Structure 1
Amino acid sequence: MPLAHPAADVWTLLADVADARPDAPAFIHGERRLSFAELLDCSARAAQGLGDLGVGPGDRVALWLPNAPAYLILYFACARLGAIAVAVNTRYRAVEVADIVGRSGAKVLACAPAFRRIDFLSILAGIEPEALDRLSAIVIVGETPEPVPPAIEHRRRVPFDRLLSRPAIAHNHASARAPCNIFTTSGTTSSPKFVLHRQGAIAGHAQQVARTFGFTAPETLSLAILPMCGVFGFNQTLATLAAGKPSVLVESYEIEEIARLITQHKPTTMFGSDDMYQRLLELMPGRWPFRSIKWAGYAAFNASLEDLPERARPRGLRLVGLYGMSEVQALYARQPLKLPVPRRKLGGGVPVSPLAHVRVRDPETGELLGPGLPGALEMAGPSLMVGYYGNEQATAAAMTSDGYVRTGDLGQLDGRGGFTFLSRMGDVLRLSGFLVNPLEIEMHIQKVPGISGCQTVAVPRPEGVRAVAFVMLDPGAVLDEAATIAHCKHGLANYKVPMRVFPIDDFPKTPSPNGFKIQRTRLREMAEALLRS
């Protein structure tokens, strides 16, 4: 049976479930159902196909794919080869993809050119050639729109189906210590950091979440809405798989489609943001439209929806606060289900692993703090990252000498074995559920002629949290707001594009021992006032 014994590595995790439940569905994707036995076989074949392309232990394979069976097949294929799957958000555009593919040294990039009418190949064609020169091949999932851009035409393109036509691979390089995942996260520069995890930590966490969250119940059906390029979507899907239960893979974040899938499949489990649940409540009729859902993992990003859990409960939707980040994986902690709504909705909770530990440190004195006292959250446990790939300096700065990661979050212990997340301690923006370093947006905007400086803040709006930029101009320059926003749309993911760009004579500042600091709170207040007017 699934979870009967610990899985040492990611491949063993899948193989054990396939052995116990070979004909049970692993994934539902549209009209297609893929059993665990089929998933295992396809992954072994894809591993041979990737091996034919030169992928071996330690090599990186970039997965620029939506939530579809190909993502998981290629992920498990990488695990079998001892290779590392590099998660690339499908919303990323040329600047971001070039950086991730280039710095990770990916040998193969997989993409789905026909997905949601996003012209992936044209985006690749806009990347500087040297950023793609290390790729031995581009794996094409699905149809290839014609014509192929000239800049891509000469590069080796391999249909995903050709990988599946290969025989199952004979050798197995999966192991507990083998690195297997790279997730991107905001850093202190414009380039994201690469969070590296090993197979033992990924497999062990999936099994622990499956046990703690009760995914072994016979009726379990997971609705995988959040993208698997991020840890919340990935960890939800892998924990469901570890329990031997199916996931309905949701390719696009379209609220009407999510509502339809809830009605059709009657899932027991789903995770999402406050904006998503608010829109579902508005769209889905009836008093109990979420009757099948036992509880729903919930992240609060929009301050204007603070009362959402209270409003959702009378309609049968029990929202529960969680905690996770790339460095410790998602679903690291969950609030107890029996807590009253005002406490249950808070971010944080009790760690899912009995071996995990959370502590709070005074950021000024360095002293450890007791329950009820806010400070810097530090975390340890078996789900912890190996470090930041290719960045020993950042790893050393993030880790304490006794093995805790400095999360950069403000929180407090609750005195009951758990903790409460309060806020980010830094200036990282949370847009569309993703952490975004404002420097990524600011440095891109500052490429516009006439703009000498930029600061970006996040502002809660009824439609979701949006970015707003303030810019300082060169003497005599005039801001073309529409052109600046169009420049952002060309190079950045849509959710990073500011909704407005306002000119400003100077940024509000406050003196500090290390120089002047930008008053980002004041900028946020200014943005809200300007948007109201």
Structure 2
Amino acid sequence: MALDYTFDAALADRIASEKDADTRPMFVTAKGDGISPTEFGEKVSQTAAWLVARGVTSGDKVAVWLPNKLEWMMLLFACARIGAVVAAVNTRYRTAELQHILKSSGAKMLIFEGRDSRADFYRLISELDFSELADLKELVCVDADAAALPPINNIKIGLFSPEEAHPEADTVGTANSPILLFTTSGTTNAPKLVMHVQRAVILHAYNCAKALEFDQDGARFLSVMPFCGVFGLNPTLAAIAGRAPVYLHTEFDIELLVKDVKENAITHLFGSDEMYQQIWQRDREALKHARICGYASFTPGIEEKMRHIAENRVPLLGLYGASEIFAIFSTQPLNLPIEQRLQGGGLPAGGSQAELRVRNTETGELCAENEVGILEFRAPTNFIGYYRNEEATSKAIDADGYFHSNDIGYLRGDGTFVYLARNGDFLRLSGFLTDPKEIEEVLEQDEAVGKCQVVGVEYKGKTRPVAFVIPIDPGKMPKEDVLISEAKSSLAHYKVPLHVIVIDAFPTTESANGLKIQKAKLRDEAMRYIKDAGSS
């Protein structure tokens, strides 16, 4: 491939490098239709021409509010060609979240699906406050019946129809052109918009294609995580770079997922720990063709189940990623012992291009190997900043070009690293940096406890742990005094929870990768509980 790392160059390379580019599928849609590289290239050209005809030009922002449809990829590659920028919108978002990303990005066009099994997107758009969205000029629906939808705020609903004849669009986008805006998770504050340029996206795709062997014979990828987040988009682009066919899933359906994984001999799959557990429960033969099953830990309390699956020869690998440095930034090597390869972190896909260091949270000095601190990353695939937020950018990227992740981890010394938790989730108790999982695992051993989460709160000048537990059986409630007694017999005194609070469910928020537990809300609830209980 040419050194000019653009989406156009990557697509041209894909078409030119395959003898059967007219017949071999590049994508397989949810309906089972195969789309060859040549066909996809034609669709990209049509989409670019359609966008220009609708007035989209270089630098304009196009908000894409779609599931994992072929149209998502067509729009991404087409925007790259004309120098426009895709603002990726989570299909789980509702009006307030949509309002934020449209306002923050200054999107000129919003492309959406009319409705799906979960939401009426047209209705949600109609609830927007358009007085704050002066830049939004076009509303476009991908559904065939878009013409029947009434205008919103005097904006006629257009139909996404790239097959219409329009003059061919000029190639304007370059390797240094911005192409993507991703939202951060936003569990405590309004999400920031992470901006990436074409060079970074495409370079990372080729790095991952080689590092994760998407370029090996017989590789097949099933794309189930949503494209609106890096966990869904980056592996898909890596598969494209590696010439592995991509099987598209527009929504999570475990029965269909298992069926497609088996029937299509899927070799590469990425998702959450809960997803793999569901696959394993449905059919233990489903992953027999798998070569790499990358996963992130989103569900507390199922570590033992994941270890059991890995022990049965499923190639599960822990990984690491962030919107700022991409997903599958790193994966644990398969040749590590199971306990080590199931940890988050791993070996960077960029190899020597990626530089890592760890900083002590107390002294500010760099950490030695195996010393826990804040992870910092420098790589040519890093984001260029938070869009329209210079203050946040200057705090996240230092003068040396390192991104300060605010994640806790350590370097192993063999080129790999271990991710432990978000900095705010780790606790410094009596001067010791403590993983809350140590406390959670002890409490989860009690027969009345299903799941546990531990947070730290300030109490009488010290940080103290407070545990929240969900009963395994609503008819048999966990008892605080019993759990604290059990903790005292197993843990150092400073790790013993100040209180154990029984709740029905953990507070969560939607992200592109699934549900995330809102630790900030748990901390607030812990403080209220302490105040009401009058702890001494």
SS in 2 for 1:216: coil
Residues 382-420 of structure 1: CA distance to partner in whole angstroms, max 9, x if unpaired?
Answer: 110000000000000001110000001000000111110
Question: Matches of 2:236 and 2:87 in 1, distance apart?
Answer: 17
The aligned counterpart of 1:403 is 401
Question: Matches of 2:368 and 2:290 in 1, distance apart?
Answer: 36
Question: Matches of 2:209 and 2:369 in 1, distance apart?
Answer: 29
The aligned counterpart of 2:390 is 392
How far residue 291 of structure 1 moved from its aligned partner, in angstroms, is: 1.0
Residues 338-366 of structure 1: CA distance to partner in whole angstroms, max 9, x if unpaired?
Answer: 11110010000111112101100011211
Residues 407-436 of structure 1: CA distance to partner in whole angstroms, max 9, x if unpaired?
Answer: 0100000011111001101259xxxxxxxx
- Maintained 8 Å contact 2:146/2:159: no
Question: Matches of 1:458 and 1:107 in 2, distance apart?
Answer: 44
Question: Matches of 1:417 and 1:293 in 2, distance apart?
Answer: 25
- Maintained 8 Å contact 1:183/1:229: yes
Question: Matches of 2:402 and 2:241 in 1, distance apart?
Answer: 26
- Maintained 8 Å contact 1:94/1:492: no
How far residue 116 of structure 1 moved from its aligned partner, in angstroms, is: 3.0
Segment drifting more, 111-120 vs 96-105: 111-120
The aligned counterpart of 2:366 is 368
How far residue 495 of structure 1 moved from its aligned partner, in angstroms, is: 6.8
The aligned counterpart of 2:257 is 258
The aligned counterpart of 1:467 is none
Can you give the 5+ residue segments of structure 1 that lack an aligned partner in the other structure?
Answer: 429-456, 463-480, 510-517, 527-533
Q: Which residues in structure 2 correspond to 1:398-477 (within 5 Å)?
A: 398-426=396-424
Question: Matches of 2:84 and 2:314 in 1, distance apart?
Answer: 40
How far residue 289 of structure 1 moved from its aligned partner, in angstroms, is: 2.6
SS in 2 for 1:123: helix
Question: Matches of 1:141 and 1:147 in 2, distance apart?
Answer: 12
Segment drifting more, 268-277 vs 189-198: 189-198
Question: What RMSD, in angstroms, separates the aligned Cα atoms of the two structures?
Answer: 3.2
Question: Matches of 1:355 and 1:39 in 2, distance apart?
Answer: 31
Give identity over the alignment, percent: 35
- Maintained 8 Å contact 1:47/1:168: no
How far residue 105 of structure 1 moved from its aligned partner, in angstroms, is: 0.5
The aligned counterpart of 1:352 is 349
Q: 1:189/1:204 Cα in 2 relative to 1: closer, same or farther (>3 Å)?
A: same
The amino acid across from 1:281 in the alignment is W
Which of 313, 334, 339 is the aligned partner of 1:337? Answer: 334
SS in 2 for 1:307: helix
The amino acid across from 1:27 in the alignment is F
Matched, 1:311 2:312: no
SS in 2 for 1:25: coil
Matched, 1:17 2:19: no
Question: Matches of 1:344 and 1:374 in 2, distance apart?
Answer: 18
- Maintained 8 Å contact 2:376/2:404: yes
The aligned counterpart of 1:60 is 61
Can you give the 5+ residue segments of structure 2 that lack an aligned partner in the other structure?
Answer: 427-466, 473-502
- Maintained 8 Å contact 1:113/1:143: no
- Maintained 8 Å contact 1:93/1:123: yes
The aligned counterpart of 2:449 is none
How far residue 309 of structure 1 moved from its aligned partner, in angstroms, is: 3.0
Segment drifting more, 138-147 vs 369-378: 138-147
The aligned counterpart of 2:242 is 243
Residues 8-57 of structure 1: CA distance to partner in whole angstroms, max 9, x if unpaired?
Answer: 21221112112223222111012211111111111111111111122111
How far residue 313 of structure 1 moved from its aligned partner, in angstroms, is: 2.9
Question: Matches of 1:382 and 1:194 in 2, distance apart?
Answer: 19
The aligned counterpart of 2:230 is 231
The amino acid across from 2:157 in the alignment is R
Residues 158-192 of structure 1: CA distance to partner in whole angstroms, max 9, x if unpaired?
Answer: 2112x232346241112111000100004596321
The aligned counterpart of 2:459 is none
Matched, 1:104 2:95: no
Q: 1:122/1:132 Cα in 2 relative to 1: closer, same or farther (>3 Å)?
A: farther
Matched, 1:174 2:173: yes
Q: 1:106/1:461 Cα in 2 relative to 1: closer, same or farther (>3 Å)?
A: farther
The structure with the largest alpha-carbon Rg is 2
Question: Matches of 1:375 and 1:309 in 2, distance apart?
Answer: 26
- Maintained 8 Å contact 1:63/1:71: yes
How far residue 314 of structure 1 moved from its aligned partner, in angstroms, is: 4.8
Question: Matches of 2:96 and 2:223 in 1, distance apart?
Answer: 28
The aligned counterpart of 2:157 is 157
- TM-score w.r.t. length of structure 1: 0.79
- Maintained 8 Å contact 1:41/1:168: no
- TM-score w.r.t. length of structure 2: 0.78
The amino acid across from 2:254 in the alignment is I
The amino acid across from 1:249 in the alignment is L
The amino acid across from 1:304 in the alignment is G
Question: Matches of 1:321 and 1:95 in 2, distance apart?
Answer: 33
The aligned counterpart of 1:452 is none
Residues 65-95 of structure 1: CA distance to partner in whole angstroms, max 9, x if unpaired?
Answer: 1001000000001000111111000000100
How far residue 143 of structure 1 moved from its aligned partner, in angstroms, is: 3.0
Q: 1:186/1:303 Cα in 2 relative to 1: closer, same or farther (>3 Å)?
A: closer
Question: Matches of 2:354 and 2:513 in 1, distance apart?
Answer: 36
SS in 2 for 1:358: strand
Question: Matches of 2:525 and 2:285 in 1, distance apart?
Answer: 49
Question: Matches of 1:150 and 1:14 in 2, distance apart?
Answer: 36
The aligned counterpart of 1:219 is 218
Count of residue pairs brought into register by the alignment: 454
How far residue 122 of structure 1 moved from its aligned partner, in angstroms, is: 0.5
